[in-house]
Structure 1
Amino acid sequence: MKTKLKKLSDQTIVITGASSGIGLVTARQAAKAGAKLVLAARSEQALRQLTQELNNQGCEAIYVVADVSKQADVKRIAREAKQKFGSFDTWVNNAGVSIYGKVVNESIDDMRQLFETNFWGLVYGSLEATEHLRHRGGAIINVGSVLSDVTAILQTMYSASKHAVKGFTDGLRTELEMEDAPISVTLIQPAAIDTPYPLNAKNYMDKVPQHAPPAYAPETVADAILSSATSPQRNVLVGGAGKLFKGMEQWTPALLDKFMEEAFAPMTKSDEADHRNRPSGLYEGAGQLQERGNYPGRTREISTYTKAKLNPAATAAIVAGTGLAVAAIVSAFSKDGGKGNGSDKGHKKAADQPADQSKSPKAATGQSSTTVATVAGADNVQDTGKGANGDGRAPRAGSAKATPDDVRGPGADKANSGKQPGSKS
């Protein structure tokens, strides 16, 4: 049975993790397109404020305070969506949490909690949506990651959970296809996205986490999600840099390992000191209507790769461009011997220099640590912003540079409540 999806203005869309980052931007864009919205997250104050904002703009929206790691809460999201709107057409499983640090130092309780949210929360949502959409049709959109295929050093458990998300999503899709159910099942795989994700993560490092370059705007993911809500997609990789990582994983895995160890890991740490077990979003809601996070480099506002991927006619061009890009990154990293300085400052300096200067011996310092961000072919885009606020443009609502006070919820981890790190009540 061919899956027929409605246009956005005729849809009711459920979005989990709607209080910040990708979920927040997706909600705002869907509202502008005329969709009715069911917004779910753990942060009630943020949800109430967002719902009021969207209703004031003429959108019909409700919110449900829910923790997707609890199946009863997910069932309640579906129930309230049907009570308010009679039905829903698209379910977006976006809620997620992360942990930064060496996996051998992390508590088992923290690891389990991450999987409860990232994997089981997505499973619960997918099953609720499948039950409702099996006969009426619609879309299930699961937000995975490029880390569904590649593992990021110092984000091991997050990567593992996203691998599991891909396995589940692919299996659900094929089973529904086998029974000819009119449901489109899509896996969205973002590269690094400039959201409060690193700041809301449980951190075991001595420095505040940040994204390694390049990072893309959350709008790039929202575009892919909403496109998949109207036109069936199997999977959508957001950001050309993610394609490069996948190419290295397939063709030069040893080189990718060396890159992760010597370049990616240092770039994951900001210059700001942090302490273990600070408040995070692992156990408590941390969303405060922030779209952007603490990424220090130039945020890529568009991804030409993803735009082309969503246009089937451009597939041949994508394949050709990706081959050239992967060859370039392998060549650049190999020449440097994998000995980058790991500094994003080197990235910005090199990026701001003319092409002939960037080839000089002096400019070559730190080349391997920034190749993914600067190699030709990753994404032929014009950077229009720098960091969270942008360079030369006024901050907009939800886009101000995130600080610990801005993006962390009032509640600390359960680990801070007089118990041993990572313990659960």
Structure 2
Amino acid sequence: MWPRLKTISEQVIVITGASSGIGLTTSRMAAMRGARVVLAARNEAALRKIVEEIRDKGGQAAHVAADVGKEAEVRKIADAAIETFGGFDSWVNNAAVAIFGKIEEVPVAEQRQLFEANYWGVVHGSIVAVAHLRARGGALINIGSVLSDRALPLQGPYSAAKHAVKGFTDALRMELEMDGAPISVTLIKPASIDTPYPDHAKSYMASKPKLPPPVYAPDVVADAILHAAQHPVRDLYVGGAAKALASMGGWAPRLSDVVMEQTAGQAQQSDRPVDDRPHDNLYEPSTDGSERGSGNRFVRGGSLYTRASLNPLAAAAVAVGLGATAALLRARRSLSRR
């Protein structure tokens, strides 16, 4: 059964990891477009302030303090959405934590903790969401990463978890299609995004982590998420750099290895000391309430590649127009030579 998705203004949308970064940006954007939103994260104080802000602007929102690594707490998110708004139409698994450092330096216990949030959080959220959406239809949107396709040194555990999210999402999508379930399943794969991600990350590097360029605004990801909530789509890369890196990793994996080995260290370490950063959020919530990160001087406010991906007809029209223009120029040059 092909999923029939509602417009954003008709939807109730659940968003995990909603207290900062992509989750916060998406929550605000969805509410601004008329959706009723259920925000979930570990930081209840931050969530309460965000919900009050949304309501003050005329939006409808509720919040649930929950650790997505714990299945029982994820079920409370769904229960709250059903109790408050009568159900939900889209569920966004966005919550994640990060660790920077060489794999041998990161304690296995901390790698397991990362998987609790980044992988098992997606599993818990997906199972809970699908159980509700089977009867009414809707969208399940999992936030992966370009690192779901291409691993990055100094972010090994994070890359491994995002690879696992991709495998889980792809398998779940096929199983739901086999059952004829009216659920769209999308994997969003962003490039580097200007969020507090490196500020909140656990780090074993000598200097404060930073995101490898180019860095895109979180609004670009939020727009892709809300597109997937309305239009069934399998995968969406956010940022042309994400698509380029994934393609390079597929077509020239060994060359990609060499390039990353030579550039990844410098690209992910700033000139700021490690202690010039808030406490990490691996086990407990850190400073929340911010969409953007610190220290990113050059941030791209949009992506032509992603915009084209969200509107393939427009992209085709542009391609046809460019082709026609090129043909006209060639014709003029040919005539001028006669």
TM-score where L is the length of structure 1 = 0.73
Q: What code does the residue aligned with 1:149 have?
A: D
Q: Describe how 1:369-408 pairs up with structure 2 within 5 A.
A: none
8 Å contact kept, 2:151–2:159: yes
Name the structure 1 match of 2:143: 143
Aligned length: 320
CA–CA separation in structure 2 for the residues paired with 1:68 and 1:288: 16
Specify the alignment match of 1:246 in structure 2: 246
Paired position in structure 2 for 1:49: 49
Question: What code does the residue aligned with 2:26 have?
Answer: T
Q: Report how far residue 312 of structure 1 moved.
A: 2.4
Structure 1 Cα separation of the partners of residues 302 and 8 of structure 2: 21
**What is the aligned partner in structure 1 of residue 17 from structure 2?**
17
Of structures 1 and 2, the one scoring higher in RCO (CA 8 A, sep 6+) is 2
The answer to which of 293-302 and 100-109 deviates more is 293-302
Give the equivalent residue in structure 1 for 2:71: 71
Cα separation, partners in 2 of 1:259 and 1:295, compared to 1, 3 Å: farther
Check if 1:224 corresponds to 2:224: yes
C-alpha contact (below 8 Å) 2:199/2:277 kept by paired residues? no
Q: Which amino acid aligns with 1:75?
A: R
Instruction: Give me the whole-angstrom Cα distance separating, in 1, the residues matched to 2:157 and 2:299.
Output: 26
> When you count strand as a share of all residues, which structure comes out higher?
2
Tell me how far 1:260 sits from its aligned partner: 1.0
Structure 1 pair 82/94, CA: closer, same or farther in 2 (3 Å)? Answer: same
Matched AA of 1:41: A
Q: Residue 208 of structure 2 contacts residue 277 of structure 2 at CA under 8 Å; is this kept in 1?
A: no
Q: In structure 2, how many angstroms separate the alpha carbons of the residues matched to 1:183 and 1:296?
A: 37
Q: Secondary structure at the match of 2:47?
A: helix
* CA displacement at 1:137 relative to structure 2: 0.3
Q: Give the whole-Å Cα distance in 2 for the aligned partners of 1:277 and 1:288.
A: 13
CA distance in 2, matches of 1:97, 1:318: 39
TM-score, length of structure 2 as denominator length? 0.91
Match of residue 3 from structure 1: 3
Distance of 1:149 and 1:121 partners within structure 2 = 19
Structure 1 counterpart of 2:170: 170
CA shift digits 1:131-159 (9 cap, x unpaired): 00001100000000000000011000000
The equivalent residue for 1:262 is 262
* C-alpha deviation, 1:265, in angstroms: 1.6
Q: Secondary structure of the residue that 1:69 maps to in structure 2? A: coil
Residue in 1 aligned with 2:274? 274
Whether the 8 Å contact between 2:5 and 2:137 is mirrored in structure 1 is yes
Where in structure 2 are the equivalents of 1:188-337 lying within 5 Å? 188-274=188-274, 279-313=279-313
The amino acid of 1:301's aligned partner reads: G
Assess if the C-alpha contact under 8 Å between 1:194 and 1:292 holds in 2.
yes
Distance 1:278 1:312, change over 3 A: closer
Work out whether residues 141 and 185 of structure 2, in 8 Å CA contact, stay in contact via their aligned partners in 1.
yes
RMSD: 1.8
Q: Which amino acid aligns with 1:311?
A: N
Conserved? CA contact 1:202–1:277, under 8 Å? no
CA spacing shift, 1:255–1:8, aligned 2, 3 Å: same
* Structure 1 equivalent of residue 39 of structure 2: 39
**Residue 280 of structure 1 aligns to a residue in which SS?**
coil
| SS state at 2:64 partner | strand
User: Residue 184 of structure 1: SS of its match in structure 2?
Assistant: strand
Runs (5+) with no aligned partner, structure 1: 321-425
Note the C-alpha offset of 1:178.
Answer: 0.8
What is the match of residue 81 of structure 1? Answer: 81
Q: Which amino acid aligns with 2:241?
A: A
Instruction: Pick closer, same or farther for the CA change 1:86–1:184 going to 2, 3 Å.
Output: same
Aligned residue for 1:131? 131
Task: Pick closer, same or farther for the CA change 1:271–1:54 going to 2, 3 Å.
Answer: same
Greater mean deviation of Cα atoms: 223-232 or 284-293: 284-293
Relative distance call for 1:318 and 1:117 in structure 2 (3 A) is: farther
Deviations 1:211-269 (A, max 9, x none): 11100000000000000001111010000001111121122222211211111221100
Paired with 1:256 and 1:109, the residues of 2 have a C-alpha distance of: 30
- What's the offset of the Cα at 1:310? 1.2
Q: Which residue in 2 is equivalent to 1:93?
A: 93
The aligned counterpart of 1:154 is 154
Q: Residues 77 and 210 from structure 1, CA distance in 2 versus in 1: closer, same or farther, beyond 3 angstroms?
A: same
Pair 298,146 (structure 1): closer, same or farther in 2 beyond 3 Å: same
Name the SS of the counterpart of 1:134 in structure 2: helix
Structure holding more helix per residue? 2
1:153 is paired with a residue whose SS is coil
User: 1:178 corresponds to which letter in structure 2?
Assistant: M
User: How far apart are the structure 2 equivalents of 1:247 and 1:6?
Assistant: 32
Distance in 2 (CA, whole Å) between partners of 1:195 and 1:68 is: 20
Q: Structure 2 CA distance, aligned partners of 1:318 and 1:293?
A: 34
Instruction: Check whether the contact 1:308–1:318 (CA below 8 A) recurs between aligned residues.
Output: no
Structure 2 contact 12–90 (Cα < 8 Å) conserved: yes
Letter in structure 1 aligned against 2:25 = V
Query: Per the alignment, do residues 129 and 267 of structure 1 end up closer, same or farther by CA in structure 2, a change over 3 Å counting?
Result: same
Query: What secondary structure is seen at the aligned counterpart in 2 of 1:152?
Result: coil
Q: Which of 202-211 and 241-250 deviates more?
A: 241-250
Contact 1:89 1:137 in 2 (8 A): yes
Q: Which amino acid aligns with 2:43?
A: S
Residues in 2 aligned to 1:275 and 1:259: alpha-carbon distance in whole angstroms = 30
Q: Give the CA deviation at 1:294.
A: 2.3
- Report the counterpart of residue 184 of structure 2 in structure 1: 184
Paired residues of 1:203 and 1:277 also in contact (CA < 8 A): no
